[in-house]
Structure 1
Amino acid sequence: MIPVRGYANRRVAVLGLGRSGLATARALSAGGALPVCWDDSEARREAAAAEGCLIADLTRPREWEGIDALIVSPGIPHLYPAPHPVVALGQEQGAVLDNDVGLFFRSFATQEWENLQVPPRVVCITGSNGKSTTTALLHHILDACGIPSQMGGNIGRGVLDLDPGREGEVVVLELSSYQTELARALAPDIAVFLNLSPDHLDRHGGMGGYFAAKRRLFAEGGPERAVIGVDEPEGRFLAAQFREEADTGEPVIRLSVKSKLDRHGWSVFARKGFLAEWRRGRQVASIDLREMATLPGAHNHQNACAAYAVCRSIGLAPGRIEAAMRSYPGLAHRCELVGERAGVRFVNDSKATNADAAEKALLAFPRVRWIAGGKPKEGGIAPLVPLFDRVAKAYLIGEAAQDFATTLGDTPHEISGTLEVALAHAAAEAEPGDVVLLSPACASFDQFASFEARGAAFTAAVRTLLAG
């Protein structure tokens, strides 16, 4: 736990009592603050009260007496499309707004670090897609290379639930736009921007607000090293804005999976399955990514480039990075290789809850038996029509099945209804070289509690099938 500093003996409101909210309440208490907690969910309030949290109805003005700050959990809107009523009231009452990430950066560094030869460093990773995989991959590489590390933020442990920093440690944080937007303090040693595609636009008031939330990690954070994907206009703008030296590119390392970045400074890019590192107009390293089964497709090659760039920034040699990458087990529910039989691979990509995410998986494999469907998202799978030639057959489940069938048209498909039926039929019809791919392009809530539950059901059924 990271005890929060700066609020000793002061009342601090905490809105939202999920994973990060509870961790925040505990960390505030550990730092001597007096957290006052609220959640719209009665069940969460009761669970927090059972832990000893002070619960007060923060929708009532009288509860704000003596409260200095309001710490807002990431999923709660504070501006667009409309501020949560507690946030609006907190503003009226003069409370400072912050979140757990802001508290982390105010509290992580301590005076004890003066006695360390190599103080801890913090790497923050943001972007629309690939954050979790890049974070988990980087954490794995560091661990495999013997560098002490912790992983948290939007994956794993909440930032305030992490342990105090150790000698030579690297803390790897996945940060969403929700987290970077509100944090009053941002101070990464290395910041990573992967990519940008439309998402959460209602929450940020449009694409400009969404990019601005992510840009804060660099503009406010002032990292010593900026690793920036330049395959979209926003990334190219960000790289140009934060580059300080034309020759070396310092402090920016550019990333791409679309262009050969062989000029202007330091770059890492992937083309035709090979990762290349270039500095000052010459290649200094190359890694063959093609046989890394847990990092399939261009989107994962971008993740690999980002993790590689961070590792090079902290001094790891290319050979050590490559060896560690080859032992990466993959991240659950994200193009996760579950098993293989008779030349047929079974891949769990349950995290693909929209067409944009499913596109990455379809591009990763040349011939798929595609299990898709669930609770539909706006636009359905129409954006994926150009990739239907990769689909040997689609097996459709859930509420979206009929609409998806209409969009598929002449592409072979069936309405399977349930995940179990879809998997059984796909496995029976698959040929060597096929990939049976769960990449639903839908939310899970019609048949499962979460995408994790959906992925776990697929994984369990595949393992039962392969054991039979």
Structure 2
Amino acid sequence: MIPVKGYSGQQVAVLGLGRSGLATAVALQAGGAEPLLWDDSPEARLKAEADGFTLTDLTRHGALDGVAALITSPGIPHLYPAPHPVIARAFAAGVPVDNDIGLFFQSAASSEWAEMETPPKVVAVTGSNGKSTTTALIHHILEVAGRPTQMAGNIGKGVLSIDPPLDGEVVVLELSSYQTELARALTPDVAVFTNLSPDHLDRHGGMGGYFAAKARLFTQGGPDRAVIGVDEAEGWFLAGQMAQGPMDDRVIRISSGQKLEGFGWSVFVRKGFLAEWRKGRQVASVDLREVKGLPGAHNHQNACAAYAACRSLGLAPKLIEGALHSFAGLPHRSQLVGEKGGVRFVNDSKATNVDSAAKALQAFPKIRWIAGGLGKDGGIAGLKPHLGSVVKAYLIGHSARDFALQLGDTPHEICETMERAVARAAAEAVAGDVVLLAPAAASFDQYPNFEKRGEDFTAQVRALIG
């Protein structure tokens, strides 16, 4: 645990008692503060009381009198579409509002760090897509390199629940826009921006607010090194804002598809080969085509980001290359479940929208595609340009028939259930095919979440291939 500094002997309000809220309460107590806890959900309040916490109704008048700060959970709106009443009251009373990420950066460093041979470092990853894979990949490479490392944030533990970092340790954080937008302290040693596509726009008041929330990771404290994906205009803008000029190697520009040779430091992929360029010359190259845990252009972008972050920490190219090959991928994100008779089975249940499904469909040449679920506005019409690699679609769930109407000449079969879809796809697949679950739809018609859907796919595949 990271004890929170700066509030000893003071009352600190905590709004939201999920994983991060309860971890924050424990960390505040460890730092000598008195947490005042509240959640709008009666179930969450009961759980907190069962864990031994005393509740304080922060919604009543005067509840914030004398409070040093209000710490809020990421899922609670503080500005758009409207601030939570308790947060609005805190703003009106001049009470600072923060979150657990801000407390982490405020509290992580200790006096012992000055005595360490290699003080710990923090790598923080944000972006629209690929955050989890990039974070896990950096963590994996560090583990293979023998560097002590912990992973936290949106993946792994809550940030205040990790152990105090050791000599030479690297803490790798995945941070969402909800987390970066409000944190009062954001001071990673290495900050990574993967990409940007529309998401959470109601929460951020539009695309500009969404990008601004991500950009705070770079502009709020100024990392020693910035790894920035420039496959969108916002990435080029952010890199330009951070760098003193094109040869400023404190900024590492990354891309999946663009040649980036005219910069102080860049990492890019073209035709499956990752290239590292420094000051006008190529210094390393990695063939990503046979890295099974990272298929497709979107994963090649993740590989660029992780490679650049690890190079900035001093790891050698050959070591990173070896670690890329041993990376198994994250569950439900282009996860190779198994292979039999030359047929691969890939679980991308996280592909819940057209954008993410499009990336999955571009990752393989011959696909037997399992899709469907609770379709979103527009269905799969936006996937029409990406259906050329689909040998046949096997449709499941509530939107199966709607999806069938949008497939045009693409062969398809309405299977309704995962069990039948996997069985039919496996029976018809030949060597070289990939049976791909990339639903392009939410899971809630048949499963409580995308994880359970992916687990069902995995179970059906393993039962078939043994």
8 Å CA contact 1:127–1:195 kept in 2: the answer is yes
Other-structure match for 1:280 = 279
Q: Distance in 2 between matches of 1:459 and 1:26?
A: 37
1:98 deviates by: 0.4
Indicate the SS of the match to 2:324: helix
Other-structure match for 1:358 = 357
The residue type paired with residue 102 of structure 1 is G
Q: Distance in 2 between matches of 1:231 and 1:174?
A: 20
The Cα offsets for residues 268-314 of structure 1, whole Å up to 9 and x where unpaired, read as: 00011100001111110000100011100011111111111111111
8 Å CA contact 1:17–1:44 kept in 2: the answer is yes
The Cα offsets for residues 89-144 of structure 1, whole Å up to 9 and x where unpaired, read as: 33234321100000000000011111111110000111111000000000000000
Other-structure match for 2:50 = 50
Other-structure match for 1:444 = 443
Other-structure match for 1:295 = 294
Other-structure match for 2:213 = 213
The residue type paired with residue 442 of structure 1 is A
Other-structure match for 2:124 = 124
Other-structure match for 2:203 = 203
The Cα offsets for residues 417-449 of structure 1, whole Å up to 9 and x where unpaired, read as: 121121111111112111111111111111111
The residue type paired with residue 446 of structure 1 is D
Q: Distance in 1 between matches of 2:459 and 2:41?
A: 31
Other-structure match for 1:263 = 262
The residue type paired with residue 155 of structure 1 is I
Q: Distance in 2 between matches of 1:135 and 1:262?
A: 26
Other-structure match for 1:329 = 328
Q: Distance in 2 between matches of 1:141 and 1:149?
A: 10
The residue type paired with residue 185 of structure 2 is A
8 Å CA contact 1:28–1:34 kept in 2: the answer is yes
The residue type paired with residue 235 of structure 1 is G
Structure 1 stretch 18-27 or stretch 197-206: which is displaced more? 18-27
Other-structure match for 1:162 = 162
Other-structure match for 1:107 = 107
Indicate the SS of the match to 1:408: coil
Q: Distance in 2 between matches of 1:358 and 1:305?
A: 21
Q: Distance in 2 between matches of 1:8 and 1:345?
A: 56
Q: Distance in 2 between matches of 1:279 and 1:94?
A: 48
Instruction: Map 1:413-432 onto structure 2 (within 5 A).
Output: 413-432=412-431
Structure 1 stretch 422-431 or stretch 97-106: which is displaced more? 422-431
The Cα offsets for residues 156-208 of structure 1, whole Å up to 9 and x where unpaired, read as: 11111111111011111011111100000000101011111111111100111
Other-structure match for 1:141 = 141
Other-structure match for 2:176 = 176
Normalised by the size of structure 1, how large is the TM-score?
A: 0.97
The Cα offsets for residues 328-359 of structure 1, whole Å up to 9 and x where unpaired, read as: 11111100000011111111101111111111
1:81 deviates by: 0.9
Q: Distance in 2 between matches of 1:335 and 1:270?
A: 18
Indicate the SS of the match to 1:55: coil
The Cα offsets for residues 192-245 of structure 1, whole Å up to 9 and x where unpaired, read as: 111111111111001110110011111112000011111110101111111124
Structure 1 stretch 448-457 or stretch 296-305: which is displaced more? 448-457
Structure 1 stretch 258-267 or stretch 209-218: which is displaced more? 258-267
1:87 deviates by: 1.7
8 Å CA contact 1:244–1:250 kept in 2: the answer is no
Other-structure match for 2:347 = 348
Q: Distance in 2 between matches of 1:309 and 1:378?
A: 37
The residue type paired with residue 220 of structure 1 is Q
RMSD of the TM alignment (CA)?
A: 1.2
- Stretches of structure 1 lacking an aligned partner (at least 5 in a row): none
8 Å CA contact 1:244–1:251 kept in 2: the answer is no
1:370 deviates by: 1.0
1:410 deviates by: 2.2
Indicate the SS of the match to 2:63: helix
Other-structure match for 2:150 = 150
Q: Distance in 2 between matches of 1:379 and 1:86?
A: 37
Other-structure match for 2:4 = 4
Q: Distance in 1 between matches of 2:37 and 2:413?
A: 49
The Cα offsets for residues 36-93 of structure 1, whole Å up to 9 and x where unpaired, read as: 2222222221111111122222222243333221111111111111112222233234
Other-structure match for 1:72 = 72
Following superposition, which runs of at least 4 residues in structure 1 exceed 3 angstroms of deviation? Answer: none
Other-structure match for 1:23 = 23
Other-structure match for 2:315 = 316
Other-structure match for 1:223 = 223
8 Å CA contact 1:346–1:436 kept in 2: the answer is yes
Number of aligned residue pairs:
466
Other-structure match for 1:304 = 303
1:16 deviates by: 1.4
8 Å CA contact 1:61–1:89 kept in 2: the answer is no
Q: Distance in 1 between matches of 2:210 and 2:266?
A: 25
Q: Distance in 2 between matches of 1:466 and 1:40?
A: 47
Other-structure match for 1:411 = 410
Q: Distance in 2 between matches of 1:207 and 1:71?
A: 26
Q: Distance in 2 between matches of 1:229 and 1:59?
A: 42
The residue type paired with residue 17 of structure 1 is L
Q: Distance in 2 between matches of 1:163 and 1:318?
A: 29
Indicate the SS of the match to 2:48: helix
Q: How many percent of aligned residue pairs carry the same amino acid?
A: 68
1:383 deviates by: 1.2
1:148 deviates by: 0.7
8 Å CA contact 1:298–1:364 kept in 2: the answer is yes
8 Å CA contact 1:348–1:439 kept in 2: the answer is yes
Structure 1 stretch 249-258 or stretch 65-74: which is displaced more? 65-74
